[in-house]
Homo-oligomer: A and B are copies of this chain.
Amino acid sequence: MPDSHSPRRLVLLTEGSLDPYNAKTAVGVLRYRPEHVACVLDSLRAGEDLEKLVGTGRGIPIVGTLEEALATHPTGLLLGTVAPGGRIPQSWRTLIIAFLERGLDVISGLHQFLTEDPTLMAIAARTGATIQDLRRPPADLGVATNIAKDQPGLRVLTVGTDCNLGKKVTSLEMARAARAAGWDAAFVATGQTGIAIDGKGIAIDAVISDFVAGAAERLVVESANHEVLFIEGQGAITHPGFSGVTLGLLHGSAPQAMVLCHHATRRYMRACPTPTPVPSPAQVLPLYERLANVLFPSKVVAVSINTLELPEDEARAVIARTESELGLPATDPVRFGVEKLLNALEPLRREHT
């Protein structure tokens, strides 16, 4: 049984999905909480270079077996990939049980709650292991009451042309840089990966749809002691599967400022088995603003572009073209930093704090 005061050392299970998009929970923890990671467990990628595969995690080993994972002296297992629908593959169950039997914790970001599985809970109770469902919402949520817009401070929400393209990373990078610049800034986690990184939040996509804006509203109200909130965006207003989550988050969190996130080279929306073209930033920008503006003033102040698949000169060209087309500052936060984004927010920060 791990000492609860020792630092967390997690095995990140990515089994067969070790890329920056499918393994987004693992990659998020690798990027922002590398000190919590013992190893990545992925039998298809064992021995490969993690940083080459996912762009972060330098020096952290990828192992292929349970025995090798246990040899890294972990305190627990994190299920680090999320499939649409979030169902736990039967093949993972054996591994989960192996950890629990050894008194090691298990953390899951899936929709199917481990804490509702009597077999797993009985093992955990016997061995002293803990099971955490990152997506499990508070029991006392309700319908939003449209009060987020009246809270003090500046609220900045990342929105997108698609899901799974960098909204969370953009919010985290802005929060980190803002704090470094002396702003009283907080990151507000609205999804399982954000919660795994930040230790708190609500996975609003696991809240019943009547309460999705209410959950977002609560997160904003509870963090209103900070001057600037960087709220993790979800989905996209035009995504066939997730648009309801996105709009509930927009209306519930009532941001004065939005940063529009786009993927430079993606043609079809992710997490949608029928080919569905990604709309352009110019097409969705006015939709976000008009939907917000029925209830509160809000505008898109900058654009964040994921250029991961482009060489640097092409990435710079895409960014320059976007700036010219939309008349807004643009950047790739991971590649070129977020200074432009914070500069775009500075006048609103002065106005609202």
Stretch at the interface among A61-69, A96-104, A201-209: A201-209
CA distance A335 to B239 in the complex (A): 38
Stretch at the interface among A49-57, A152-160, A283-291, A345-353: A283-291
CA distance A211 to B291 in the complex (A): 22
Given contacts A206-B208, A208-B111, A238-B291, contact A147 B213 (CB under 8 A): no
Is A2 in contact with chain B by the CB < 8 A criterion? no
Is A252 in contact with chain B by the CB < 8 A criterion? yes
Contact A111 B210 (CB under 8 A): yes
Shortest A217–chain B CB gap in Å is 8
Contact B276 A295 (CB under 8 A): yes
- Give the residues from 202 to 240 in chain A that come closer than 8 angstroms, CB to CB, to chain B: 204-214, 237-240
Q: Using Cβ atoms and an 8 Å threshold, which residues of chain B touch A271?
A: 143
Stretch at the interface among A118-126, A242-250, A312-320: A242-250
Shortest A224–chain B CB gap in Å is 16
Contact A276 B146 (CB under 8 A): yes
Contact B242 A143 (CB under 8 A): yes
Q: Using Cβ atoms and an 8 Å threshold, which residues of chain B touch A238?
A: 291, 294-295
Is A199 in contact with chain B by the CB < 8 A criterion? no
Shortest A147–chain B CB gap in Å is 6
Is A144 in contact with chain B by the CB < 8 A criterion? yes
Is A311 in contact with chain B by the CB < 8 A criterion? no
Is A273 in contact with chain B by the CB < 8 A criterion? yes
Is A94 in contact with chain B by the CB < 8 A criterion? no
0 or 1 for each of A102-144: is its CB under 8 Å from B? (1 = yes): 0000000001000000000000000000000000000000111
Is A272 in contact with chain B by the CB < 8 A criterion? yes
Is A16 in contact with chain B by the CB < 8 A criterion? no
Known: A145-B241, A244-B246. 5 other contacts (CB 8 A): A144-B240, A146-B272, A207-B209, A238-B291, A287-B287
What are 18 A-B residue pairs whose CB atoms fall within 8 Å in the complex? Answer: A85-B143, A146-B240, A146-B241, A146-B272, A147-B274, A210-B241, A210-B245, A213-B244, A214-B241, A237-B247, A238-B294, A238-B295, A240-B251, A240-B252, A243-B247, A244-B245, A279-B294, A284-B294
